[in-house]
Amino acid sequence: MIQRLLFVLGFLLALDTSLAAEKIADYQTRLEIHPDGTLQLHEEILYDFENSWRHGIFRDIPVTVKVSEYAHPVDLGIQATGVRMDGASVPWHKESLYSSQAGKMLRLKIGDPDRLISGTHRYTIDYRVSKGVLPTSDGSGDAVRWNLVGTGWKVPIERFRAEVILPPVLSRQNVTLHSWRGRYGSTTPTEPPRWIDDHRFILTAHNLGPHEGVTVEVAFPEGLLGQRGTENVQTSLWDRLADALPLPLLLLYLLFLRQFAKKSGVGSGEGSIAPQYYPPKDLSLLQSGLIYDKFSDHRDISAAIVELAEKGYLVIHKDGRDPAYVQRTDKPLDESLTEDQRYLLTRILFVGADTFTFDPDMRERRELFIQKLSDLDRILYDWSVREGYFTEKPTKARSKFLLKSILLALPIAGLLAYRAVEAGHPEQLILSLFAVVFIGVGLGMLYRAWELRSISQGIFGLVWTAFSSFALLGDLLQTGDLRSLLFGPFGYLLVIALSLWYYYRRIGPFTPKGAEMHRYLLGLKEFISRVEKDRIRRFLKQDPLYLDKTLPYAMLFGMTNAWKELYTELLPQAPVWYVGDFDTIDDFYDSAAELASPPPSETGGFSGGGGFSGGGGGGGGGGSW
């Protein structure tokens, strides 16, 4: 086994060494600018394969250019007209590629697939460029800005020489020359160009490393050639619409989304809120929880068990670090129990046994517990419509809302996809989608951890969110800046996702009866949040079990700690239905909520802006195959 691994490692090292040994001994380019603004390129590449055996080389030429980060790519109209090797014809063919940095690429794959070669060979490549004129970086004139050597070459180049030939209308007297060398984005100047006569100059460079290129810019007054740079980079009406429409469409989408949400029950329970001091009559805790937030939340199961304990049907035991458990009392079921309370007692907690232990490590029990809670959800949602609290099940209303909202967002997604592809960064759309999904999952974990008061799930959600943000947003920022991030696919998808989440949590069409009960529960929440001790003392004189009856609702509203402290201050002893230190009521809440929740495991730059190496048309790179 070790010998095989050593063989594979040696083979890979040999491949890497052979690639590193390859080089371009001499690279010569002739760039001829025609009066009509077209360009003719002639390249001679002396490629040294050394001792490597290859079929030939490939030459990648970008066919589009961007004059700024936010501009649409312009098709330069590149046509390859001839390829030769060592002065003779050689098999070659064209391929279309895509690069995240350079955009659309034309690959010339040169060589015989049935023949291997080594040593030094001279490749001659001729191609024509229809749109050779671009605007200058400051927009003051026209320019021919060309990457004579692209930054995509993976091998070093020992010598480079370029001859640039100007048309009669351009000369040494009316052009301004700039040239740069180095990796993409470098502003290191080359050696000063050397004029041969008024219409020709020579540009040289030595010892270019892998991925180092040479760019030249010939700037001149606008309109001297048959093309104008501003006209060549002018975008179509459709492209301008594609740029302008997403934001108005997003605003229109949010407006329609709000209307859909209102029709689906968002805001249907709004109204004046008066403080309430007693739990609602004839409603169980789980029924109240459904009306309170329109969800049958499994996290409410702890409060529902406390409610049953207060009614005398069970006793809660929590001793130190041992798992909490509940024990059935001898009290028989009576007619006052609601359907969900009966189901919780007889079909979930006590099935063939008088005790139930909340141990999340018991996987089979946990899975069965969650399955039974799903059945309990259906009972509650059916009850909510049957008894006239909702016009339709909140689950059904949420599904309809989500489907309509996603369909309505498709035109925006289509425009974003078109813009991303045309801008030369289709990967941004995929990365944006993944970023929104992964970050959304992380935020959902944090929200769930906050609901369950679970530190472990909170840490996991925080790590997940941070990792997703740094990894995915880092990749997005490599292809643009903060502006393109916020006003690109990621920003739009994030706004849509957050809006959907905001409304989705509030979907559920109340009837007038349901809206009235919703406001009643909000009034009870308001009173519990105030913790008015004097008023509570008066209630305790009238009903010594007042705290026991309202504790489940304090748990429902997330105010367990405040209500728990009242037992210490206002009552001489802990409730009879709780065995253990009553301060551990939080631990019981967490144990039951954890058992009711699934385990955590289930849940570049632009190419044509000028002013640097790689900032022009053409270029690209190549290698051997």
**pLDDT digit string (tens) for 259-273?**
999 988 888 778 889
Instruction: Please determine, for residue 479, whether its predicted confidence score (pLDDT) is greater than 60.
Output: no
Helices 394-422 and 426-452 cross at an angle (nearest 10°) of 150
What local confidence, expressed as pLDDT, does residue 621 receive? 74
Instruction: Please determine, for residue 110, whether its predicted confidence score (pLDDT) is greater than 90.
Output: yes
Task: Determine the 3-state secondary structure of 196 from DSSP.
Answer: strand
What local confidence, expressed as pLDDT, does residue 18 receive? 45
Residue 484: pLDDT band by 50, 70, 90 thresholds? Answer: low
Using the structure block, give the residue that is written with the tokens 């059916």: 382
Instruction: Please determine, for residue 364, whether its predicted confidence score (pLDDT) is greater than 90.
Output: no
* 3 in any annotated domain: no
Task: Determine the 3-state secondary structure of 12 from DSSP.
Answer: helix
What local confidence, expressed as pLDDT, does residue 601 receive? 45
Note whether 202 and 115 are same-domain residues: yes
What local confidence, expressed as pLDDT, does residue 619 receive? 66
Note whether 285 and 344 are same-domain residues: yes
- Provide the token pair at 514: 């349901």
Instruction: Please determine, for residue 2, whether its predicted confidence score (pLDDT) is greater than 70.
Output: no
Note whether 70 and 161 are same-domain residues: yes
Instruction: Report the DSSP pairing between strands 23-33 and 157-165.
Output: parallel
* 12 in any annotated domain: no
What local confidence, expressed as pLDDT, does residue 100 receive? 58
What local confidence, expressed as pLDDT, does residue 608 receive? 46
State the Cα–Cα distance between residues 325 and 358, nearest whole angstrom: 6
Residue-wise DSSP of 68-88: STTSPPEE--EEEEEEEETTE
Please report which helix (H) or strand (E) contains residue 231, including its range: helix 229-232
* 15 in any annotated domain: no
Q: Give residue 181's region: left, alpha or beta (phi > 0; psi -120 to 50).
A: beta
Q: What is the DSSP letter of 345?
A: I
What local confidence, expressed as pLDDT, does residue 219 receive? 93
Instruction: Please determine, for residue 493, whether its predicted confidence score (pLDDT) is greater than 50.
Output: yes
236 vs 543, higher pLDDT: 543
What's the whole-number mean pLDDT along residues 542-571? 90
Residue pLDDT, tens place only, 446-471: 776 676 566 766 787 777 777 767 76
What local confidence, expressed as pLDDT, does residue 482 receive? 60
* 563 in any annotated domain: yes
Q: In 3D, which of 350, 357, 358, 305 has the Cα closest to residue 332? A: 350
Note whether 131 and 252 are same-domain residues: no
CB 356 within 8 A of CB 349: yes
Residue 614: pLDDT band by 50, 70, 90 thresholds? Answer: low
Which amino acid is it at 625?
A: W
Task: Determine the 3-state secondary structure of 384 from DSSP.
Answer: helix
Count other C-beta atoms under 10 Å from residue 400's C-beta: 15
Note whether 372 and 435 are same-domain residues: no
Q: Which of 156-165, 206-215, 428-437, 443-452 has the lowest mean pLDDT?
A: 443-452
State the Cα–Cα distance between residues 135 and 220, nearest whole angstrom: 10
Domain of residue 172, CATH code? 2.60.40.1730
CB 490 within 8 A of CB 432: yes
479 vs 223, higher pLDDT: 223
What's the whole-number mean pLDDT along residues 311-339? 91
Q: Which of 442, 476, 506 is the last residue of a domain?
A: 506
Q: Which of 506, 526, 550 is the last residue of a domain?
A: 506
CB 514 within 8 A of CB 388: yes
Which amino acid is it at 294?
A: K
What local confidence, expressed as pLDDT, does residue 603 receive? 40
- Provide the token pair at 222: 């606008």
- Provide the token pair at 109: 């794959």
What local confidence, expressed as pLDDT, does residue 422 receive? 67
State the Cα–Cα distance between residues 432 and 489, nearest whole angstrom: 6
Note whether 444 and 577 are same-domain residues: no
Note whether 177 and 219 are same-domain residues: yes
Alpha helices in 387-488 (DSSP H): 394-422, 426-452, 455-468, 474-478, 482-486
Residue 279: pLDDT band by 50, 70, 90 thresholds? Answer: very high
What local confidence, expressed as pLDDT, does residue 399 receive? 93
Q: What is the DSSP letter of 222?
A: T
Note whether 230 and 241 are same-domain residues: no
Domain total of the chain: 3
What local confidence, expressed as pLDDT, does residue 563 receive? 87
* 537 in any annotated domain: yes
What's the whole-number mean pLDDT along residues 429-448? 76
Note whether 79 and 175 are same-domain residues: yes
Residue pLDDT, tens place only, 371-412: 899 999 999 999 999 999 999 999 999 999 999 999 998 888
Note whether 227 and 255 are same-domain residues: no
At 75, phi and psi to the nearest 5? -75, 120
State the Cα–Cα distance between residues 3 and 356, nearest whole angstrom: 58
Residue 481: pLDDT band by 50, 70, 90 thresholds? Answer: low
Q: Which of 295-309, 448-462, 586-600 ranks highest by mean pLDDT?
A: 295-309
State the Cα–Cα distance between residues 410 and 403, nearest whole angstrom: 11
What local confidence, expressed as pLDDT, does residue 425 receive? 65
Q: In 3D, which of 541, 549, 528 has the Cα closest to residue 570? A: 541
Please report which helix (H) or strand (E) contains residue 328, including its range: strand 325-328
* 609 in any annotated domain: no
Instruction: Report the DSSP pairing between strands 103-111 and 39-48.
Output: unpaired
558 vs 280, higher pLDDT: 280
Instruction: Please determine, for residue 8, whether its predicted confidence score (pLDDT) is greater than 60.
Output: no
Q: In 3D, which of 214, 202, 220, 225 has the Cα closest to residue 39? A: 225
Structural domain range at position 85: 21-234
State the Cα–Cα distance between residues 144 and 617, nearest whole angstrom: 9
CB 219 within 8 A of CB 385: no
At 459, phi and psi to the nearest 5? -65, -45
* 610 in any annotated domain: no
- Provide the token pair at 445: 């974990």
Alpha helices in 324-422 (DSSP H): 339-343, 363-386, 394-422
Q: In 3D, which of 195, 194, 200, 135 has the Cα closest to residue 167? A: 200
What local confidence, expressed as pLDDT, does residue 423 receive? 63
What local confidence, expressed as pLDDT, does residue 451 receive? 61
603 vs 586, higher pLDDT: 586
Q: Which of 464, 485, 506 is the last residue of a domain?
A: 506
Mean pLDDT value across the chain:
84
Residue-wise DSSP of 500-541: HHHHHTT---B-HHHHHHHHHHHHHHHHHHH--HHHHHHHHH
* 45 in any annotated domain: yes
CB 587 within 8 A of CB 123: no
What local confidence, expressed as pLDDT, does residue 70 receive? 56
Note whether 276 and 182 are same-domain residues: no
At 158, phi and psi to the nearest 5? -75, -45
CA 332 to chain centre: 54
Written in H, E and C, the secondary structure of 241-284 is HHHHCHHHHHHHHHHHHHHHHHHCCCCCCCCCCCCCCCCCCCCC
Task: Determine the 3-state secondary structure of 606 from DSSP.
Answer: coil
Note whether 30 and 153 are same-domain residues: yes
- Provide the token pair at 427: 């990967």
Q: In 3D, which of 155, 154, 164 has the Cα closest to residue 204? A: 164
